[in-house]
Structures are given as C-alpha cells and as structure tokens.
Structure 1
C-alpha cells in the first residue's frame, strides 16, 4: 500500500509539472473559442453583404420618397397643384405606401426639407394634416368627393353635392355674424369637412370683414386663419359687460339720529357687430334681463346709444378701440305744438355725442376679452350756432373694465351668408 501511494503521488506531481506547457494552454484557448462560437445562435451571425446593401438601398429609397412627398405637400400649400401632383407621383413610384410611413411632425419636415418655418402654435401640423386628408380623398379617384355615406341609404346623401355648393353652405354656417366656433365644430364631422373648414377663402373673407377690404396681405402671419385667431380684434359672439358698485349716502332722518346708506350697482354693456356698428347701454338692470335684448342693432330702449367703432393701428403690442355713440333721434310729437301751454322760448337744440377710447387685451384663457377705459367725453353741438363744447369725464373707480361673455343666442340664427 505504501508503494501505491507513492506512485500516485508521483503521478500527480508529473501532471502538475506538465500543466505549465505553453502548447497545452494554446490548445485549451483554441478549444474554448471554438466551443463558444458553436454555442452562439445563428441569428447573431453577420448578415451577408448582399442583404446589407439591399437594406441600405431601401432606406435611401424611402428617404428620397419622403423628401419628394413633403415637397409635394409644400407645393400644394402654396397653390402649385400641378407641381404637387408631379412630386406625389414620383414619391409613389419609389414607395407606393409612403404616406403611411411619414410622421407629420414639424421636426421631420424640417429635416427632410430644411426650409419649413417654425410655428409655435402648431398651425404647421394642421396644414400638413389638411394636405394629408386632401391627398387621401383624391388619391386613386377621378372624381373625388368630400365625404361618403357610412351606410347605404335610398335618400340623397350630402356627398352628392358639388364642392361649390358645400362651400356656400359653410359660408351660411359662418354667416354675417362670423360664427367661427360653429365652423370649427362642423370640421369635426369628417376629413372632407375638415378640409372645407380650412378653406383660405372663408378665412380671408372673415379677416376682411373685421379689418376692412384693405386687409389684402398676410404680413408675418402664415395663413388667414392664423391672422383671424391671433390678431387682436373685438369679439362678436357675445357682449362686453362692466359692473360698477358704490356706496351712496342717503337723507338724514327727521330726528337727526339715523342716516341710511345705499349700495348701488349698475352695468355698462357694449355689443360690437362685424359691420362696424356698436351698441352701448348703461342701466341698473342685470345681464339676465338685458343680454337677450341686445341681439340685434334695433334695440327699442330709450337709454340705448348707437354708433360705430374702429380698431387703431397696433403699436407697442397694444390695440385700441375707438367708438362714437349717440342717442337715437326721437320723433317730435305734433301734440306738443298744439298745446296752449307750449313754451316758445325752449332750450336750444343740441346733439350729444359720446366718444369712447378703450384698450383691448386678453386675460386668462380667452382671447381679446377685456376692454380698459382710456378716454370718455361728451361732445355737445348746438344746432343754432354750430358751436361744439367738449366735456371729458374723470376716469375714476366708477369706470371699471369691460369683461367679455359669450352668448349662444347671438349666433343661433344666420341672417345671411359670409
């Protein structure tokens, strides 16, 4: 047994001595590398050179098609429809379904074109969406329709109407009251109505209705719709209300011990119309009983003043509203002349005209909803001598700002088309 142990120990010593051989270490590393390569899955192997080149060509083709498609969209926005069709066809020849692979974000358009202008309010995305809807409606059809019925019906569908008649209906929706809110709600019906609601001619007519026919250029605005939404203007779908409260001292009691105080509230109302006319009313009656009576210009109230207004040039980011109002002329009663107690020496006849200056601003989430007093004066013109006397009012705490409130009944009916 001792000899076997000795032989075993000697054998172990010989193996330890042989492990330092560099050839064995090299063979072991080679075996390990081969073994690890066999364990790797086949999907991790490199793609063949032909497949890599094919993928590169496909990516280049898609990038070129996307560039052509976005250029077609830009040409269509600028009104060059023939150029847009040409680029649409080139893009479709390269990649037939390129429209589904394009992300209509503003950054992608900038990377592909390099010449799109940045817009902070997201109107660029809206314009791209209009072009996308328009292309989807016209692609592959000889006679494109604005919309199509979801279910087959025996009755005539609105999609059978020509586009010109539909646009005329849309102008009736806007109406002479410039109800753009109803136009935006109508655009939610379908893609075709969305395109019609973004028609530049409707928004251009609305801008000319507000700022006059001299409004022929966009200036720094990108579209007529953007001008109408962002350029300061008075609103027509509601009324501006100013509430004033003060404490008035009453008469002293007979015993001299008690003197009452009265809390007085009164309101000023301003209603603007798109044709440049304005209605002004000062009364203690609350809005609940007055607002509905100011829906039209023909208000039958003695205290109502009518006139016209204009928007001043926008300087220093401020827009001013100037209005000139007067009382309605009352018809002279013939019975007064027949009365024997009629005075021959009556007070001289005079015309009273009120000049108002207001500063337009925006407060909170609504736009153009505040009017702050800047000037208020009364011009008295005597008819006999032609002399005019001007009396300016002191703008103290009795002149609180006007705050706008939307009234649904003002745009419930359409008198005439835009």
Structure 2
C-alpha cells in the first residue's frame, strides 16, 4: 500500500502536467485563428457563413412578451379593422406607378417587421394559413416585432401614456442655461380652444392666395377668393352631392373652407334628405320581390283607389317626414345625423371573411396536437342597390377577383349557366334578393332612434323551393360609421312545406364595408 505522501506527490505532478498542457494550447490558439480568418478573407464573400448574410435578428429569445397596459384596449377587433382597397379600376391598364407598386409589393421580405407587415396583410385578406407562417418567421427573427409594428403604424396611440407619464422638462435643473426659455412659458399661457370655438375663430377669415414662388414677384391670381359666399356655398353643395368624401376633404384646403363645411347646415340638410348618399335613398319597405320582380298589388294595397305609384310616393313622404322629425329631437345637427343615423352605403361592397379549422384526415380518435388540420377560408358578399335589391354571394374566391363583377348586367347575363372562366364562374353562383331597414313603422312602441339600426335581407335559395332570410344590426367599427353588419339570425324558408329552419352562426363573422371605385361615386354601376 502506497504511503499518503507518495499519493499526494503524484497528484501534484498530474496537476502541473495538466496546467502545462492548457497553457501550451492557449499559446498556440491565436496563430490558428489568424490563419482561419486569412483563409476566409481570401475565399471572398461568396463563401461567407449563412449567419453573416441573414437578416439581423435579436439574440435575446428568453424575453417573454407581456401585454402592456397601454395597449390592452387596442386589442379589440374594431381597433384593427382594415377594409379592402378596391379604388383601382380593373378595366383600365396599369400605369407605370402601379407596375412599380406591384414589383415592390411582390418583393420578398427581409426583416422581421417586413414579415410581420406581410402577415397582417394576408390576415386582413383572409389568407390565414399564409399569415401564420409569416408570423412565425417574424417572431423567430425578433420576439418584440409586434411592438415595432405598433411604433410604426400606431405611434400616437402606442406612446400616448408614456409621454403623459414622463413630461418633457424644457429647463432641467442640471442644465447650464442662462436665458429663460420664453417659448415654454408662452405655451403654458396659450389657451386651448375646443373644436367649436376653434371653428368659430375662422369666421372672419377669407381664402388666402398662394404666396409667390419667387420673393419679389407678383402674387399669383386666386379667382376663388373673390367669389361671394353664396356662390361658394353653392359650389360646395354641388361637390357634396357628387361625393361626400371629397366635400369633407375640402376642409383641409384652408380655414375658410373648414368654417363653411362645419357651419353650413343647409348643405348637410341636402345631403341627409337626398337620395345620393342620404336617407332619401334608404328603403324601409319592400320595393321588390326576392327575384327582383314587381310586387303584387293585391298584397301591398289595402285600398283599390290607390295605385302602386301613389303608394311609393306616400312612403317616400313618410320617410322624409321621419327624417325631419329626428332633426333636433334626436340628432342636434344635420351633420351629426348623417354621421350617426344608420344607413346603407351603395358605393362599395360588404364583405365577411370566415376562417375555420377542420381535421385533415378521418380518425376515430380524438384530435391531438400533431394531428393535421386544414384552415378553410370563404367569403360572403352583399352589394346593395337603391331600388331595394341586393346581390348575395358565397364563394372561396378572394375579393379582388369578385367585387368588380357584382353588377346587375353580369348577373342577368350569367345567371342561367356558368362557364369555367371569369366572371361567369363567380357571378353564376350569386343570388338575387331584396333588403329593407327597420323604422318606427315596424316598431311603433319603441323610440324612433332605437327602432332603427336593423337590416333585413331576403334572397333566393340555392334550390328554387327555398328562400333565405338574414337579419343584421348595423354598427360602426373604428373611426368610420355604418361600416359593419353584425349577424342576428339566419333562416331558411321552405316554400312547399311552409317551414322555417335556422342556420347556426358558429363560424360566420361580421360584414365590413369596402369602397369599390368601379361602382362609381353613387354606386349605380
């Protein structure tokens, strides 16, 4: 048996040898690394590692995203409503700018924010499967990409409370300032005007001409500044009748236009009572049958001395009288009535995007986390017309290939037989129907403002013996008004057996309005 002193000496020798080997390796390592770096430099950038040419990404993957208190109220559906943009006329050729935009849109994303933006676009258009894969790529590159997206697209809302919690200090105590900051004191003393007071302050202002391009040159002419106010109001009223959106955008031209648009109640009265965009074009009684046929006088007329034309004229007068009665009692101004009173919009289409998941294969067992699934996407379309008719369509085709073909001439042309090409393949499955809004006539025991806001749509069925009835409540989403239709019920009526059957609304989503330029400003195309 060896003595303890000998064992201890052997351990000391082993430690010394191990230290010597480690020190020798550390001395020889730098020359080897320098040779590897020189070899990579000679090889050129084409042989660089993949990590060097990949998009930048953050290395901190352990950070967990915790919802901030500043954005909890922005997670609702209405705050992120993005309607489709169909302001491009499909019958016109693409300009140079549109081709450049297409190339830029088809460019492959490189950063996490670009992947996230493309995922949001796909989710908005209903491509839920593509958006999920893009979201995964974005979060793998940057776990906080959603905050970068909010900072870019919603900077005012995202940082509002942060700015309020940390007010800027124009004159900090540790700053070497010898002259007082008078601008800060002037900002504190300036009164903050309300919007009505601000508009009233524009009353005495006129239309100012543009300054000369070169200093010292004569001022360019401004003929509209010399027009009397009566003629200027008449011009603004004509613009409002053609397009209310352009009429509102004129308020950005100058303060004089902003004052006239906000205070001229006669223009807003003309908009509300007119049939172009106002309530003169709303339908509160059935005007047509399900298949757009004329109504049967025997069912509509209670008195033989009244004709159908006189009946429609009487209903139009009742609708105008109701509109005049609501002014002052329910809505304080004509402008407020146009913005808040429920109405159908005709210069676009209401679209419902539905996504649901179903199993990928038939199995008697329960679905597990690794079971294949399919994400199914389909769309519902509703286009309304002023004569009380509507076009309804259920299809898997995306909106860009559908909305421009939802017209009465195409529906009449392709209704009997469908060809395997556009637009016949889509329009042949569209259904004719009719619509009407609720009013105090249908609910006499309810207040006038509460009786309105419900929409009833009746369409033909897929089989001639059926008729579909859809009921909605009109709501507003985001900053726009009257752009959302919430489902209330969906029924099927059997004409042969006189039975009603209710459809479930498990997967169906609300309709959102999207303006379509090819329909025209008034929506009659």
TM-score, normalised on structure 1? 0.48
Structure with more relative contact order (C-alpha pairs < 8 Å, separation 6 or more): 2
Bigger Rg, which one: 1
Higher strand proportion: 1
TM-score, normalised on structure 2? 0.40
